[in-house]
Amino acid sequence: MIRSLASMAAVVTASMLAVPASADTLVDNVQGVTIDEAGKVARFDALVIADDGRVRALFRQGDDRPEGIEYRVDGKGRVMLPGMIDSHVHVMGIGFGQLTLDLSNTNSLEEALAAIARFAEENPGRPWILGRGWNQEKWGLRRFPTAAELDAIVADRPVWLSRVDGHASWANSLAMERAGITAATQDPSGGRIIRKAGSREPAGVFVDAAETLVNAVVPAPRPADRDVALRKAQDLLLANGITAVADMGTSIEDWQTFRRAGDNGTLKMRIMAYADSAQSMEIIGGPGPTPWLYDDRLRLNGIKLYLDGALGSRGATLKQPYHDEPTHKGLPLLSPAQLRNLMSRAAMDNFQVAIHAIGDAANSEVLNAVEELSLSYSGDRRWRIEHAQIVDPADIALFGHHGIIASMQPLHQTSDRLMAEARLGPERLDGAYAWHSIAEAGAPLAFGSDAPVEPADAFAGFAAAISRTDAKGEPFGGWLPQESVTREAALAAFTSGGAYAGFAEGRFGRLLPGERADFILVDRDPFLSSPQDIRSTTIFETWVNGERIHVAK
Amino acid sequence: MIRSLASMAAVVTASMLAVPASADTLVDNVQGVTIDEAGKVARFDALVIADDGRVRALFRQGDDRPEGIEYRVDGKGRVMLPGMIDSHVHVMGIGFGQLTLDLSNTNSLEEALAAIARFAEENPGRPWILGRGWNQEKWGLRRFPTAAELDAIVADRPVWLSRVDGHASWANSLAMERAGITAATQDPSGGRIIRKAGSREPAGVFVDAAETLVNAVVPAPRPADRDVALRKAQDLLLANGITAVADMGTSIEDWQTFRRAGDNGTLKMRIMAYADSAQSMEIIGGPGPTPWLYDDRLRLNGIKLYLDGALGSRGATLKQPYHDEPTHKGLPLLSPAQLRNLMSRAAMDNFQVAIHAIGDAANSEVLNAVEELSLSYSGDRRWRIEHAQIVDPADIALFGHHGIIASMQPLHQTSDRLMAEARLGPERLDGAYAWHSIAEAGAPLAFGSDAPVEPADAFAGFAAAISRTDAKGEPFGGWLPQESVTREAALAAFTSGGAYAGFAEGRFGRLLPGERADFILVDRDPFLSSPQDIRSTTIFETWVNGERIHVAK
């Protein structure tokens, strides 16, 4: 599977010698790895970057290097990989996450309450205490936390904390009071207000659409706050070796933040955007997807739709009831007609459609909708299913039949496995996080993190993808290990597959002549390291468009 | 007042000879006229355009031309002027006006009804008949037209026609039915529903804020329609020799249309945008005005606010009652506190504020508000008053005191004079369209057209500015002729003054080294022609950023 690019490089070398190369940069003495045109791993030892930020040529060890190169960089024998592409993130969520309280590392309710108290004390000026990342399952709580527990810590300011999956939030009493929520408040369609046992009194947690009741009264961030958040998000992603992302759910305010950065030259990474609504899609894109802007750094590709919620909060829609709540099958967010209308609305103007579907009922619904709509909307549509976590094995063939992109997040599997077993029971796990089966069916894979839901860590994702084990190496031998993928498939899903999923193939995602020179220099080869070693990869440098924009401290 | 640029050009020529000039363009053999750094008229005979679209140097007849020029253009002895800057237009309104029924040339109600019938017949597919430009004063009707008169012509589709000043609209019964308007509908704040005599039945005309009752149900244009409208607007403006405009009341949809054109290279002219609301301002600009985009072709400068309506529809707010409606003093659209809050909101983030004020009460209110706010917001603010049509002579000094930009439209004076006499009576005309007095007080003038309210015709505006006469040369000797301005002042107000009013001085507006090469080639010299001759100026070519983008057919 590993081939040499020597023959191709030789041809390019010859043509290079004929052209002036004064502003070219040669990065030599690297152990280069990329996915090639055939989708296979290829290796090289040096790379020349043209003035426009694109790769001009690759070289093997014995090849003559071109004459007249102005800049030379010694790669010191480090491993060079294409910049990682994270195909499912929330860019502004990552940035605001950096600016608010992060509870994702807390291991108990007590630890979380202590962190909240500390944050409130350290941030006396903030009118609301906002945060994210709590997970009652990880805490071993076996119930949702309550407003009363928060009130004991912070009573003088509203507190509003989003669950790790973004599908539920936890309020103190003042936050509920600001939102006017009482025992009389009804559950909104597609959402649920958790109530005190045997009472209609709200308990403090709001699931899916019910979150909007409180979100509506949270003060909106100012544009300058958004600019800071974008900078924080870029810093984090670039430090992690991620040079391009798909932004899932771009609002007009998010888009304008990206454009401001593009306009003033501070947009460093690449963002493939998917609008958060049909209205945003039309305002941002107008009559169709935007052009690639800022040297391929920004494009509105299409729209993100939500068909169901998450498994953890039992919002995901299942064909059969939840194993651990036998009266409940999840919360559909769109009717079949609404889903098809929105897909048509986007497709008629050639916007790409990316649909969040987690439960097997939701996935089945999307696959059937694509089957129907494909009759009207032909051509290269690249329908995407985001997450595709639980798929009925009987439905998997449809992925391949329509070339539907499976945009999946390996770390969700390692984080969710015990919860998934609880929600689904032991008999319904065959199509759970079924990367291998879905790829075998012929669907293009695009891997991501869903950051800030999971850390934006492509190497942890790579390790999970090839091993079905978590950071502790558990479970031994991997969870449903037949669904792991090869290292080659994992690298492709984090690089060239991510580009293909966003109509960016040929622009970036591979280190091949003509593509953008987006790469990272790291300390180990993911093809020669154990999954545990891959998780510890050190990223020395991150380059985008031929420029070194991050160097590890 | 007319000086030679020979000495300056000679210096620039010397420096030019030292630099490679391979892609420069020499436009020779012209009668060049511009405003110079001192605000005076200066003349030249040739101009060199650098590769970046800026003027590199000017030459007089006897100067040596530089060596090594790649492109040479023979100006054929034509008059070269800076591209005209129209400091008050509605870009998308101009474009949509080109796509809808134009009634501005109708001279009677009967003519208008015939034109409406013809348009309805020729456009069977349009769900609504939309149009603009009617003027019951010009028709000699002495009353508003009625829904019943429209119903007799078009009853099967809604009809909705905007008055020439954009401050009133005329509906047929079906349009009112679609909007749910009945005798029970109340006048909204800041608006008036014209009623049948002695009844509460709506008669068919809706003034100012009342227009929104029907506008709310008119189908919104699609993005592709907007793109066509922008193209039509640019075609019209460039053919008229206008190379830059201030867009007064830019919505997010308008802005995105401008950006789409910029992104795909079809934004030919320059647009200085003023957002239509604080919300649009924040979404478009974020934490402050945008950078100059697309080689100085687009920038959000600030916000447009409306303080009152128009004189024709008696929306303008007057200190004393209307002469021809003694119980009425106009319709204020913002309270004093609202005005100051909005001005502060914009000024705190360094957005420029442009306030529509037509009546003497509205102008007085803005001048007082600037006086108060200048204590908090120092620096170079360039507060703008749009129209400034009727100003109490006692208030004029404040314009100069705070350097407030008077953004005025000479053609309004010639169109409005009889109406203004009727509205104000003979005793209150001293501060009417008082260009000269306002400039004498020290206020910078910026002239425009208010297109599509008036034709986007800077030469007609220039003629009116220097003569206070209309296209027929009436009234003989000019209306309040002491308020006319010099030719030099008129050219400045349509070029360098317009640039200054939009913070664009040094970028464009003058033909001086370092500024963008925006110019027109015309058949006559406005300094040597009669006002009537100036109105007939033929524009042979329009150049923007050193490129010829319009040639007369």
Kindly write down the DSSP assignment for every residue of A126-178, as one continuous string: -SSEEEEEE-TTTTT-SS---HHHHHTT--SS-EEEEETTSSEEEE-HHHHHH
Q: What is the pLDDT of residue A127?
A: 86
B227, B260, B293: residue with CB nearest A263: B293
What pLDDT sits at residue B431?
Answer: 96
Of A286, A284, A267, A268, nearest to A276 (Cα)?
A284
d(CA B108, CA B136): 8
Query: Which two tokens mark B137?
Result: 């004063």
Whether residue A475 has a cis bond before it, omega within 30° of 0? yes
Per-residue pLDDT for B12 more than 70? no
Tell me which residue in B252, B260, B290 faces A252 most closely, judged by beta carbons: B252
Is residue B7 predicted with pLDDT exceeding 90? no
Residue B249 near residue B119 (C-beta atoms within 8 A): no
Is the pLDDT score of B10 beyond 50? no
Residue B422 contacts A, CB cutoff 8 Å: no
List, as ranges, residues 262-291 from A with C-beta within 8 Å of B.
Answer: 263-264, 282-287, 290-291
Going residue by residue through chain A, which has 553 residues, state the pLDDT in tens, using 9 for 90 and above. 344 444 444 334 434 444 444 589 999 999 999 999 999 999 999 999 999 999 999 999 999 999 888 899 999 999 999 999 999 999 999 999 888 899 999 999 999 999 999 999 988 878 899 999 999 999 999 999 999 999 999 999 999 999 998 899 999 999 999 999 999 999 999 999 999 999 999 999 999 999 999 999 999 898 998 999 999 999 999 999 999 999 999 999 999 999 999 999 999 999 999 999 999 999 999 999 999 999 999 999 999 999 999 999 899 999 999 999 999 999 999 999 999 999 999 999 999 999 999 999 999 999 999 999 999 999 999 999 999 999 999 999 999 999 999 999 999 999 999 999 999 999 999 999 999 999 999 999 999 999 998 999 999 999 999 999 999 999 999 999 999 999 999 999 999 999 999 999 999 999 999 999 999 999 999 999 999 999 999 999 999 999 999 999 8
Nearest CA in chain B to A224: B287
Mean pLDDT on B220-227: 92
Residue closest to A266 by CA, chosen among A232, A291, A289, A302: A232
CB B159 within 8 A of CB B171: yes
A–B: how many Cβ contacts below 8 A? Answer: 46
Inter-axis angle of helices A458-467 and A487-494, to 10 degrees? 150
Whether residue A224 and residue B263 make contact (CB cut-off 8 A), yes or no, is no
Neighbours of B278 (CB within 10 A): 15
Question: B281 with B246: CB under 8 angstroms?
Answer: no
For residue A22, the model assigns a pLDDT of 55
> Pick from B297, B273, B278, B300: which is nearest to B289 by CA?
B300
Measured between beta carbons, the chain B residues lying within 8 angstroms of A263 are 290-291, 293
Task: Return the higher-pLDDT residue of B553 and B31.
Answer: B31
Residue among B544, B310, B328, B334 at smallest CA distance from B450: B310
- Average pLDDT (B507-533) is 98
Q: Do B224 and A287 touch (CB under 8 A)?
A: yes
pLDDT value of residue A16: 41
Contact A386, A404 (CB under 8 A): no
CA-based nearest residue in chain B for residue A295: B263
Q: Which residues of B touch A293 (CB under 8 A)?
A: 263
Question: To which H or E segment does residue B416 belong?
Answer: helix B410-424
Environment class of B344 (CB within 10 Å of its CB; exposed 0-12, middle 13-18, buried 19+): middle
CB B86 within 8 A of CB B240: no
Rounded to an integer, the average pLDDT of B367-389 is 96
Is beta strand B55-59 parallel, antiparallel or unpaired with respect to B46-49?
antiparallel
Note the pLDDT of residue B360: 98
d(CA A409, CA A208): 20
Q: Whole-model pTM?
A: 0.86
**What angle in degrees, to the nearest 10, is found between the helix axes of B360-373 and B336-348?**
50
Residue written as token pair 């169901």: A308
Structure tokens that stand for A312 in this block: 């953890």
A366 burial class (0-12, 13-18, 19+ CB within 10 angstroms)? Answer: buried
Copy the structure tokens of residue A163: 């669950």
Asked if B286 and A227 come within 8 Å (Cβ–Cβ), the reply is yes
Q: Is the pLDDT of residue B15 over 80?
A: no
Residues B99-106, mean pLDDT to the nearest whole number: 91
pLDDT higher than threshold 80 for residue B11: no
| CB-CB neighbors (< 8 A) of B222 in chain A | 287
Is B256 in contact with A283 (Cβ distance < 8 A)? Answer: yes
In this prediction, the answer to ipTM > 0.90 reads: no
Residue B27's pLDDT is 97
Q: pLDDT exceeding 90 applies to what percent of chain B?
A: 90
- Residue A307 gets which letter from DSSP? -
- What whole-number percentage of chain B has pLDDT above 70? 96
User: Which of the residues A231, A251, A257, A259 would you substitute to probe the B interface, choosing the one with the greatest number of B C-beta atoms within 10 Å?
Assistant: A259
Average pLDDT, chain B: 94
For residue B109, give how far its alpha carbon lies from the nearest alpha carbon of chain A (Å).
39
